[in-house]
Chains A and B, each alone.
Chain A
Amino acid sequence: MGLNAYGYGDGVGDGVGSGYGVGDGYGYGDGVGYAYGYGHVGDGHGSGYGDGYAYGYGYGVGYGYGYGSGYGYGDGHGYGDGVGYAYGVGYGHGAGYGVGHGYGYGDGHGYGDGHGYGDGEEVRRDYFKAAGLDARWVLAEKNTELRREMIEAMGTDRFFGQLRAHVKHADIDGYGNPRKLLRIPMADAEAGWLQAVQVVCPTTGRVYHLGVPPNVNTCQAAVASTFGLKPVEYQPERES
């Protein structure tokens, strides 16, 4: 297990502004952890604030993965309002546990702490679904398995909706709406990319994305594939 922490803070304004933050995090089991926290404050006119942030990360080496996560927040007090926020997450094989604390205050002060625990893919999947993941953040995840789980948890529509994907093919459907076959490079994907088709519901006008096999090259083939049909076979006379 490893642990490190750091914090910083700053104060701005024409009054007394100062702050600091500390944080720590733990990863349990076979994991290692790190965390950080920070805080900063506002001005001397009663609007100071502080916040804290902590992030804990544990990463193990046993079987499978577990994780722990948590959020914390804190209030600030002083001339004005203070806010604090902390976030802790830990990963560990089999079981993981993480704790994080963060503090920050100046004229206002705030603190926060977070802790979490969990084990097994199911818990982690639930966490990812609830976490409000951002696709760009997910792409930055170095662990292939975690990245896959995050992407699955986000779902095709959200994942592709947040990224500027390469347009492999584009056309107009039978209702005059644009269709786009989109690709996002992904070294860990079977084909080297993830693929989805962007379509418009002819009734509601809603734009949405559907995952399609990586080997289809046209929008027609992509949509047809979602019904198990060949491109020439998919010819709806009425669509709503």
Chain B
Amino acid sequence: MKQIRQGDILLIAVSTAIPEGAMPKPEVVLAEGELTGHVHRLAGVAVYDWSDPDGQRYVAVREGGGLLSHEDHDPVAVAVLEPGIVYRVVPQQECGLGEQWRKVVD
């Protein structure tokens, strides 16, 4: 399945439908940098953004491509999301060094 990565955000195309009743927006923020405040932004004519009951987030666009932008990675928005395709939003997560520490059993 098609994957689009922008910095620490990965969009993975999935065979899921846009939920009925989902309301389109002109743009959504996929993630915001804690330190920089820089934003992974998805814009388009009709942008859909929802989460399933497990909290998994999805986005999709209709009526034209989805424009992805970010201050560092894509200062000029690029139309990389195909209309009608649902993408799973996967934020990058590192295995922190503290997590690699030996577990202490009380």
Question: Which 5 pairs across A and B sit closest by C-beta, in order of nearness?
Answer: A236-B5, A152-B98, A210-B94, A239-B5, A236-B3
Q: Is A211's CB under 8 angstroms from B95's CB?
A: yes
Q: Is A227's CB under 8 angstroms from B72's CB?
A: no
Q: For residue B7, which residues in chain A have a CB less than 8 angstroms away from its CB?
A: 201, 203, 240
Segment of A39-47, A91-99, A108-116, A190-198 engaged in the interface with chain B: A190-198
Q: What are 28 A-B contacts with C-beta separation under 8 Å?
A: A148-B97, A151-B98, A152-B96, A152-B98, A159-B97, A188-B101, A189-B101, A195-B100, A196-B97, A203-B72, A203-B73, A204-B73, A210-B92, A210-B94, A212-B94, A212-B95, A213-B95, A213-B100, A227-B10, A227-B93, A235-B3, A236-B3, A236-B4, A238-B5, A239-B5, A240-B6, A240-B7, A240-B73
Is B31 an interface residue, CB under 8 A from the partner?
A: no
Cβ-closest chain A residue relative to B101: A148
Q: For residue B99, which residues in chain A have a CB less than 8 angstroms away from its CB?
A: 211
Known: A228-B90, A228-B93. A237 touches B98 (CB 8 A): no
Q: Is B2's CB under 8 angstroms from A225's CB?
A: no
Bound-state CA distance A212–B4 (Å) is 21
Interface range for B: 20 to 34
Q: For residue A186, which residues in chain B have a CB less than 8 angstroms away from its CB?
A: 100
Bound-state CA distance A128–B5 (Å) is 33
Q: Which of A159, A189, A226 contacts B102 (CB 8 A)?
A: A189
Q: For residue B92, which residues in chain A have a CB less than 8 angstroms away from its CB?
A: 210, 226-227
Rounded to whole Å, the gap between the CB of B105 and the closest CB of chain A is 12
Rounded to whole Å, the gap between the CB of B90 and the closest CB of chain A is 5
Q: For residue B3, which residues in chain A have a CB less than 8 angstroms away from its CB?
A: 234-237
Rounded to whole Å, the gap between the CB of B69 and the closest CB of chain A is 10
Q: For residue A218, which residues in chain B have a CB less than 8 angstroms away from its CB?
A: none
Is A231 an interface residue, CB under 8 A from the partner?
A: no
Q: For residue B102, which residues in chain A have a CB less than 8 angstroms away from its CB?
A: 188-190
- 1/0 per residue B52-88: CB within 8 Å of A? 0000000000000000001011100010100000000
Complex interface residues of chain B between 1 and 46 (CB less than 8 A to chain A): 2-7, 10
Q: For residue B90, which residues in chain A have a CB less than 8 angstroms away from its CB?
A: 227-229
Rounded to whole Å, the gap between the CB of A149 and the closest CB of chain B is 8
Cβ-closest chain A residue relative to B103: A190
Q: For residue A239, which residues in chain B have a CB less than 8 angstroms away from its CB?
A: 4-6
Bound-state CA distance A189–B101 (Å) is 4
Q: Is A191's CB under 8 angstroms from B100's CB?
A: yes
Is A214 an interface residue, CB under 8 A from the partner?
A: yes
Rounded to whole Å, the gap between the CB of A213 and the closest CB of chain B is 5
Bound-state CA distance A226–B92 (Å) is 5
Q: Which of A189, A225, A227, A240 has the most CB of B within 10 A?
A: A240
Bound-state CA distance A127–B73 (Å) is 33
Q: For residue A235, which residues in chain B have a CB less than 8 angstroms away from its CB?
A: 3
Q: Is B72's CB under 8 angstroms from A190's CB?
A: no
Q: For residue B100, which residues in chain A have a CB less than 8 angstroms away from its CB?
A: 186, 189-191, 194-195, 211, 213-214
Cβ-closest chain B residue relative to A147: B101
Bound-state CA distance A230–B15 (Å) is 19
Q: Is A194's CB under 8 angstroms from B97's CB?
A: yes
